[in-house]
């Protein structure tokens, strides 16, 4: 009688073995994993079978291969949905991780150029400004620099951002009517690097997003993601 373990393809056994070792901390980010020769001997299979397992894990960004050096546990790249306007807290929780945040700035002021142009309002229009760092299991993954139309979100500064996110609050008080966005690659300036705990100048993905509600601009946000551990994705 075949064992239950033998009911799955051999290459999948190897994939599961490597994934389990990573999840249990046997191999951490940047650690080299056993060679294909070693895995072939351990499982009593051909190099071709092992190669399939390793190639699939590389394609899934679990492993990374360095020519002439070896195969390593890849740096985890968290994902954010680009097209949909989702709460980053929900995205973190969907990964089974813990979301937390650090509030670096909460302020109110009167609009001046270029914000008058971005919000399509007159000078002196009341705005709120927040700078919040979002963390995934204690790792900073986003700096959210957001300006909010005070007429649309009058209670913005009173929110407890350890309980709700800016996006969650705005989706309630200012139902989404439209969105404009752009993505660019930029080097992290000193203040952003400090908040993301990365070296100054490290490449970042920067998402600029303007949300519309009730025929007016509700918020203008710039979100910085460390390029070494994040990717933006979307489906059309």
Q: Are residues 26 and 89 in the same domain?
A: no
Dihedral pair phi/psi, residue 205, rounded to 5°: -90, 130
Q: Smallest Cα–Cα separation from 27: which of 90, 75, 59, 67?
A: 75
Q: What is the pLDDT of residue 28?
A: 87
Domain range for residue 153? 78-233
String of DSSP letters for 201-220: T-EEEEEEEEEEETTEEEEE
Dihedral sign for Cα 210, 182, 140, 100, please. Answer: positive
Q: What digits encode the pLDDT tens for the residues 66-76?
A: 877 889 988 76
Q: Are residues 45 and 61 in the same domain?
A: yes
pTM of the predicted protein model:
0.66
Q: What digits encode the pLDDT tens for the residues 149-196?
A: 999 999 999 999 988 899 889 988 988 888 888 888 999 999 999 999
Q: Are residues 83 and 139 in the same domain?
A: yes
Give the residues across from 216 on adjacent strands.
213
Q: Are residues 64 and 97 in the same domain?
A: no
What Å distances lie between residue 219 and 74, 95, 102, 111, 153, CA to CA? Answer: 36, 27, 20, 13, 9
Our count of domains for the chain comes to: 2
Q: Are residues 35 and 88 in the same domain?
A: no
Q: What digits encode the pLDDT tens for the residues 85-128?
A: 678 888 888 888 999 999 999 999 999 999 999 999 999 999 99
Q: Are residues 93 and 199 in the same domain?
A: yes
């Amino acid at each position: 009688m075949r064992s239950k373990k033998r009911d799955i393809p051999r290459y999948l056994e190897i994939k599961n073995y490597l994934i389990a070792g990573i999840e249990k901390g046997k191999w951490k980010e940047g650690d080299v994993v056993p060679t294909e020769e070693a895995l072939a001997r351990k499982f009593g299979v051909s190099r071709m079978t092992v190669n399939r397992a390793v190639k699939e894990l590389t394609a899934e960004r679990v492993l990374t291969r360095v020519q002439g050096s070896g195969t390593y546990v890849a740096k985890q790249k968290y994902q954010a949905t680009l097209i949909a306007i989702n709460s980053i807290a929900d995205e973190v929780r969907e990964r089974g991780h813990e979301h937390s945040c650090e509030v670096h700035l909460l302020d109110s002021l009167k609009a001046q150029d270029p914000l008058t142009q971005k919000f399509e309002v007159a000078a002196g229009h009341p705005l709120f400004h927040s700078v919040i760092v979002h963390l995934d299991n204690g790792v900073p993954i986003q700096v959210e620099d957001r300006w909010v139309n005070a007429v649309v979100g009058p209670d913005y500064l009173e929110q407890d951002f350890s309980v709700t996110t800016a996006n969650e609050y705005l989706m309630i008080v200012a139902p989404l009517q439209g969105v404009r966005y752009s993505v660019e690659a930029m080097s992290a300036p000193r203040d952003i690097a400090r908040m993301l705990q990365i070296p100054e100048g490290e490449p970042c993905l920067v998402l600029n997003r303007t949300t519309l509600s009730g025929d007016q601009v509700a918020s203008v946000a710039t979100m910085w993601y460390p390029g070494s551990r994040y990717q933006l994705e979307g489906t059309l």
